[in-house]
Structure 1
């Protein structure tokens, strides 16, 4: 839809037509000191808590209290295979097959575990390609992998940078890099959605380019999972990782997801770190058997699942499943398009949106660049009851989340921004 209109009445009309509007009532919305709902546009950093999360965690606390160790097999949701309760819905959200997905560990830990298997440098092919403005943790992780294998972390790192005076990465430049250095690059590791600009990369295009030059390709989808249609299986990527505490609303520091493409599912020759939870489930508790690796993404697990964190993930996934992820993505495009329309109508020379205007090249995040920024506008927005996210040097990141944000949220946020400008 492109026929957006100004005025509060139009925002109310969109909310009235929104079939997902009731899902807002399923979340705890932070309030100001007067008890009024804050406008929360920070789900790209930490998603809000579903009201059912406490019930899901309480169930496991009760089983622990009443059953002790027997909760592993006798609990309402037996802990022994609790991670399996998450697999199907998570696979649907990231566009994968169940055998390709597992929830385990934390985000950067999973990135390292994937690189143990998929970054296999040789003296001639050892470099790693990442985007120029990658999330810092990704940059630190790949640099440490280079050092771990005995390579210089500056010489071994190739950056896919935006052109001078531009914010967004250009695919022609990526192709040029691979044409010139492809035979030196062992791994292409890109953030599926750039944390700063909100640019949603074409995962299949990048994967095809990388594979054409003999590179392994992986993605950090922390800002993509639960936000956009990743279609990981169709992309052909070798691996991907993501967190669950942003768009998947699982709570601060919660567990991560990992994807390993099905073509690697039964490859036992892939180097990897192992633990007893990647061992054959049927013989896992014999203890003294030789290691017998599970197929698929489960074969990268090390430890038994942390139940309380998984219970929170399960609660959120059940809400998303009820809403329907395809429907959420449809609303996201409408909501973000409306947000973009209202920002552009401000016609203010001091701010501009650096996120792609093409809805297929972004999720729900809009990154608003502030001219001569000193963070004061962000601080004023916060004081006006709008929770956003400041990223140095000059960007306010705003994410209207389709699960719990309304069109009136968007309208009211822009009205407050207009007053501050």
Structure 2
């Protein structure tokens, strides 16, 4: 494993043109001003489509205890687990009604009044909505498996090391599961991760990895690199990478490019097809709100999903992958002749009959996304996060501030999350204060709080209330 800390080809000051910050009025740090932003929010009605836990229940650790205060908690943890859409119960009930009323016939029968298609077509139903979230064509996207499983399957198809090109470039602080998956694929090919894994890290003492720095790693290792696999958004710092530019640059060096979109899916506006991304995988339980451990999804660019029948129907040519019967075309799926005829596109990477419970859950949350667009959600998210940043920094200086925002200040280089690195010894104190106030955030030892106001259900007033509690904890 190689960790390269070579000097950037350009200074950090010249890495990008920073977007201008919004200009706030004198009363911007008041609750009344935050409420005025909520009143004019065009997406404000989406909040009512979600079930928000009460402050009392968050702290009671009991299931919906009667008599507790109905005041909702402030939930800034959509980067770990999104809230439950109210549509979830309707969709799950529809699935159970199908199962109880027509049993096995549910695979092939569309029931009148159900929001769900027949079970055999549910993956396609979900893909038709999901593809709009990631910017792919419907045939380039399919819901399946879970994130790490999908990364394994995609690496099995796209990582083809040779004696010369065997390296995989990845993030220095990759989510452990990604790191383990990459490490295991290298070892599977009898290669040594110490030689074939290259971790792309920031400059010493920094957290943000500039695009130019990533490109310099690509230049340095291009001759030996087979795959570049990066997170669309870095889970720890919240940095959004320039997916389009990095993809194009790496591919020009004959490198396959994949993206882990766990923190980018349903968070930022993606254009995977237009950006010519080779493959991608994501989970759906964070900003996607499909439920804990929910079914993930994959993207395979159409250029890799083609099926060539030029040598006859019995001899299709297609990109090698680990195959299963559900990746076979429905027209021949039940012939049971053991002749694999893959579905063109990402659907051909499916393995087994998918869980209808998972697909029903996924279709429920996608029905909410179908009512808006990622462009609209992203627009609100940028404003919501900018307001959070403004309140956090107001009336403070680098010398007086007891935290550092390690997420990029450029709104277009981050998603909904700001990561706050607290001074040593403050994490427990601050976390306890927030918990007691009914504010749910994610913490990462030894000192980071990840704050993620989500545009579908969070408000500017909640942002204001959070900052009041945080500063009270820091100054108390």
TM-score when normalising by structure 1: 0.97
Say whether residues 1:63 and 2:86 are aligned partners: no
In structure 1, the partner of 2:470 is: 417
Match of 1:157 in 2: 197
Q: 1:289: Cα distance to partner?
A: 4.6
291, 300, 309: which one aligns with 2:358: 309
Q: Is it true that 1:350 corresponds to 2:373 in the alignment? A: no
Shift in Å, 1:358:
1.1
Residue from 116, 140, 148 that aligns with 1:100:
140
| Deviation digits for residues 142-189 of structure 1 (CA, Å, limit 9, x no counterpart) | 001111110112221101101101001122222222222111111100
> For the residues of structure 2 that align with 1:72 and 1:214, how far apart are their CA atoms?
43
Which residue is 2:120 aligned to?
80
* Structure 2: tracts of 5 or more residues without a match: 1-20, 57-68, 112-116, 308-316
Name the SS for the 1:382 alignment partner.
helix
Does the C-alpha gap of structure 1 residues 123 and 36 become closer, same or farther in structure 2, counting only changes over 3 Å? same
Question: Does structure 1 retain, via aligned residues, the 8 Å contact 2:419–2:448?
Answer: yes
Q: Alpha-carbon deviations, 1:60-114, whole Å to 9, x = none?
A: 0011011110111124221011111111221111011111100001110000100
Kept after mapping to 1: 8 A contact 2:186/2:196: yes
Q: What pairs up with 1:21-60 in 2 under 5 angstroms?
A: 21-33=44-56, 34-60=69-95
2-side partners of 1:169 and 1:176: how far apart?
11
Separation (CA, whole Å) in 2 of partners of 1:393 and 1:419: 21
CA RMSD of aligned residues (A): 1.3
1:82 and 1:305 in contact (8 A); partners too: no
Return the alpha-carbon distance in structure 2 between the equivalents of residues 26 and 146 of structure 1.
44
Worse-matched range after superposition: 91-100 or 318-327: 318-327
Is 1:11 aligned with 2:29?
A: no
Structure 1 segments of 4+ aligned residues over 3 angstroms from their partners:
none
Where does residue 296 of structure 1 map in the other structure? 345
* Partner Cα distance (2:448, 2:248) in 1: 32
Give runs of aligned pairs for residues 102-181 of structure 1, distance below 5 A: 102-181=142-221
Higher alpha-carbon Rg: 2
1:90 alignment partner in structure 2: 130
In structure 2, C-alpha distance between the alignment counterparts of 1:328 and 1:215, rounded to whole Å: 32
Distance in 2 separating the partners of 1:385 and 1:345: 24
Which whole-Å CA distance do the structure 2 matches of 1:179 and 1:22 have between them? 48
Instruction: Work out the number of aligned pairs and report it.
Output: 421
Give, in whole Å, the separation in 2 of the partners of 1:219 and 1:346.
39
Distance 1:121 1:43, change over 3 A: same
**Residues in 1 aligned to 2:181 and 2:91: alpha-carbon distance in whole angstroms:** 34
> Which residue in 2 is equivalent to 1:379?
432
Alpha-carbon shift at residue 373 of structure 1 (Å): 4.0
TM-score, L = length of structure 2: 0.86
* Secondary structure in structure 1 of the residue aligned to 2:85: coil
Tell me what 2:384 maps to.
Answer: 335
Distance, in Å, in 2 between the alignment partners of 1:332 and 1:219 is 22
